[in-house]
Amino acid sequence: MGGIPSMKGSIRISEIFGPTVQGEGPLIGRPTVFVRTGGCDYRCSWCDTLYAVLPEFREEWTLMSPAAILAQVEHLAGSTPVLVSLSGGNPALQPLAPLIEQGHRKGHTFALETQGSVPQPWFAALDWLMLSPKPPSSEMTTDWQALDDCISAAAGGPHCALKVVVFDEDDYAYARFAACRYPTLPVYLQVGNPAPLVTHTGPGSEEANIDDVMRGFRWLVDKVTADRWYAATVLPQLHVLAWGNRRGF
Amino acid sequence: MGGIPSMKGSIRISEIFGPTVQGEGPLIGRPTVFVRTGGCDYRCSWCDTLYAVLPEFREEWTLMSPAAILAQVEHLAGSTPVLVSLSGGNPALQPLAPLIEQGHRKGHTFALETQGSVPQPWFAALDWLMLSPKPPSSEMTTDWQALDDCISAAAGGPHCALKVVVFDEDDYAYARFAACRYPTLPVYLQVGNPAPLVTHTGPGSEEANIDDVMRGFRWLVDKVTADRWYAATVLPQLHVLAWGNRRGF
């Protein structure tokens, strides 16, 4: 309305890549094309995708229309319907309703992961909504009301799941609280990745320390089983084990 | 009927252990207690649990009543309802109906994995049935009619899934055929583990070669995505990455 017409409804994209497999959460191992949006309302201390978060990477981001995004997804996926994983940054900051609607018409399915800080009415149109509130080690503060609102927005729509990254005891206690607060949601505990690609203090290593990841995994399995928390699912990040901290996998 | 009364309905057990997490298939990462039965109608070339298969290990196996098995499960699980993973050997050779029925009454859930060579009417009482037909590298021959009968036996009951171990191109082609034959079943492709605990020629290494496993995983992801086989799920064995080929995890 009076702006630049070509920008209306555009989505800020950091990268589109795949098909590869989802490395995390309830769809672990499932082939997917990732659509990563640029921009985030959080600054997690251990963020592993700062290139999709920090304003200094903004010139790497592209404003794309839903049609252009779908064209790129379909180019990558060979014109076969595919699971599209909407990630970020925080993809809930972008106007994704038309992308989801147009993609559904072509047979694609959509999973979105967000920290749950910004509810959107179009969450109900998703196929999967992974809510990943950030634990104390992230140095962020959870707005539980916003998370409640995200879950309400999704009601009657997608499969919903909670995913909590756990680095330490405080994170674990936070995960227990989150699970207790949302007793109807399946909970995925994800081992923290101690060596992200880019840190706040400069570039990190592309080589993930698999020993560290699996040590964290064993520790978390021991915690969960000792606490008889049998409703939780404990997973490492499969893509980190397979490809380290490289981008595009 | 004329036998030794205390043996009637007994189940041949190789080991009961846990709680740990399921390392494979649709329940990957889920806390569970494993109940491994002794005895198998197959002799897969790469079997990683020969101690539950070969007759020379028979004296390690124990005949247990359903009540005794449940007592052990509940001892391990701390009297909390838990997912019980029935494995083997081929657990379909054992009379498991009373165990499942008694376990359900105590709130436990039951997942069974079998190659699908022996259908049982009590499959319908399970919560999960993982059918794992064995590909060419196993040197076994699939009885597809028996597998059909297993699926029919489970109808209206458990969640069913196909799981196929893939070591090579021939195994991959076999997996594609199996998926095509059972289009309604979700398919899990599992990377073959090149270093099982015990081989036919003697004990193997307890150290899994994680590099080999993850190389196989990347190869399989590449195959699946190149073929646009987006309905498949590709997973390594998480317990092998976490604990190597040790028993009891």
Check A19 against B238: CB less than 8 A apart. Answer: no
pLDDT tens digits, one per residue of B33-88: 999 999 999 999 999 899 999 999 999 999 999 999 999 999 999 999 999 999 99
Written as one string, the DSSP assignment of A115-178 is -SSS--GGGGG-SEEEE----GGGT----HHHHHHHHHHHTTSSEEEEEEEE-SHHHHHHHHHH
Say which of A32, A77, A214 has its CB closest to residue B228.
Answer: A77
Predicted confidence at residue A1, as pLDDT, reads 39
Nearest to B100 by CA among B76, B124, B79: B124
Distance CA A87, CA A102 (A): 18
B69 is written with which tokens?
A: 């098995």
pLDDT tens digits, one per residue of B193-228: 876 555 445 545 556 688 899 999 999 999 999 999
Distance CA A142, CA B49 (A): 46
To the nearest whole number, what is the mean pLDDT of chain A? 93
| B2, pLDDT greater than 60 | no
Apex B10 CA angle, B7 and B13, nearest 5: 125
Task: Give the burial string for A140-173 (b: 16+ CB within 10 Å, else e).
Answer: bebbeeebebbbebbeeebebbbbbbbbeeebbe
For residue B230, the chain A residues in CB contact (below 8 A) are 19, 30-32, 77, 80-83
pLDDT tens digits, one per residue of A70-115: 999 999 999 999 999 999 999 999 999 999 999 999 999 999 999 9
Check B233 against A29: CB less than 8 A apart. Answer: yes
Predicted confidence at residue B248, as pLDDT, reads 73
Instruction: For chain B, list residues whose CB is within 8 angstroms of any CB belonging to chain A.
Output: 18-21, 28-32, 77-78, 80-83, 188, 210, 214, 217-218, 221, 224-225, 228-230, 232-236, 238, 241-243
Quick one: what percent of chain A has pLDDT higher than 70?
A: 92
Distance from CA of A73 to the nearest CA of B (A): 13
Rounded average pLDDT over A139-165: 98
Predicted confidence at residue B247, as pLDDT, reads 76
- In chain A, what is the straight-line distance between the N-terminal and C-terminal CA atoms, in Å? 38
Q: Is B227 helix (H, G, I), strand (E, B) or coil?
A: coil
| B4, pLDDT greater than 90 | no
Check A230 against B19: CB less than 8 A apart. Answer: yes
Helical H runs in B78-124?
97-105
Fold of B11-243: TIM Barrel (3.20.20)
Predicted confidence at residue B205, as pLDDT, reads 55
Task: Please state the pTM of the whole predicted model.
Answer: 0.93
Q: Which one of A221, A224, A227, A246 would you mutate to disrupt binding with B, by most B Cβ within 10 Å of its Cβ?
A: A221
Distance CA B213, CA B208 (A): 8
Q: To which H or E segment does residue A75 belong?
A: helix A66-77
Q: Which residue has the higher pLDDT, A130 or A5?
A: A130
Predicted confidence at residue A207, as pLDDT, reads 64
Which of A109-113, A198-202, A223-227 is predicted with the least confidence, judged by mean pLDDT?
Answer: A198-202
Predicted confidence at residue B33, as pLDDT, reads 98
Predicted confidence at residue B138, as pLDDT, reads 97
To the nearest whole number, what is the mean pLDDT of chain B? 93
Rounded average pLDDT over A44-72: 96
pLDDT tens digits, one per residue of B140-194: 999 999 999 999 999 999 999 999 999 999 999 999 999 999 999 999 999 998 7
Kindly list the domain boundaries of chain B, sorted by start residue: 11-243
ipTM of this predicted structure: 0.92
